[in-house]
Amino acid sequence: FVSRSLRFMPHFHIPLQSGSDAVLKLMRRRYDTALFASKIKKIKEVMPDAFIGVDVIAGTRGETNEYFEETYDFIAGLDITQLHVFTYSERPGTQALNIEHRVMPDEKHERTRRLLSVSDEKTKAFYTRHSGKVLPVLLEKSSVGNVIHGFTPNYIRVEVPNNDIPDNQILPICLGGFNEAETALLGNIQRE
């Protein structure tokens, strides 16, 4: 249904939390990594250009070094676009406080850094695959300066020269290489 709809964009944001079945069990999640991977595979089969963002928590209680490496390897092998990485923090009164193994702050930050690095690689690879394509881009409100930003239907951030483009227009844009900050693809408006 979603893959054929004109009302839904090919952009998914899915909570994973951990790529370790043992940690998912500690979190009382009702899924495991095999089920999660099968859902990602199904999305990519019917929507190969879909942007898939995934939430993951780094350094949760119970996440041993071995369990973190399972998470890292699982995520590295998934056909996803981006990670939203959250560094675990204690919350008073939660069940998680009953889990004995605690990850030290320095280690939590190192795990977060590693996952963000994988995320950057995946996002850049996804963007690069779309370089050279002409896609509709919703150009958002112009900021002060010489460029305007927008997004493709599958959530690729695009930067084009601000040549008095009206706000909130959808225009065909040819996607090029990365901007200087490597946060967006440069684009050229395709005039009819």
Confidence of residue 144 (pLDDT cuts 50, 70, 90): low
pLDDT tens for 83-133 read 999 999 888 877 777 778 889 999 999 999 999 999 999 999 999 999 999
Q: Cα–Cα distance between 60 and 40 in angstroms, integer?
A: 23
In the predicted model, what is the mean pLDDT of residues 132-155?
88
Burial class (CB in 10 A: 0-12, 13-18, 19+), 56: buried
Phi, psi (degrees; rounded to nearest 5) at 16: -105, -50
Report the candidate in 146, 143, 152, 138 with the shortest Cα–Cα distance to residue 49.
152
Q: Which option is the CATH number for 2-130: 3.40.630.10, 3.40.228.10, 3.40.50.720, 3.30.750.200?
A: 3.30.750.200
CATH architecture classification, 134-189: Beta Barrel (2.40)
- CA 146 vs. chain centroid, Å, equals 27
In the predicted model, what is the mean pLDDT of residues 132-136?
97
pLDDT tens for 21-68 read 999 999 999 999 999 999 999 999 999 999 999 999 999 999 999 999
Phi, psi (degrees; rounded to nearest 5) at 53: -100, 140
Q: Is the pLDDT of residue 151 over 70?
A: yes
Three-class secondary structure of residue 111 per DSSP: helix
- What is residue 17's predicted lDDT score, i.e. its pLDDT? 96
Q: Cα–Cα distance between 184 and 121 in angstroms, integer?
A: 14
Three-class secondary structure of residue 21 per DSSP: helix
| Domain regions of the chain by residue span | 2-130, 134-189
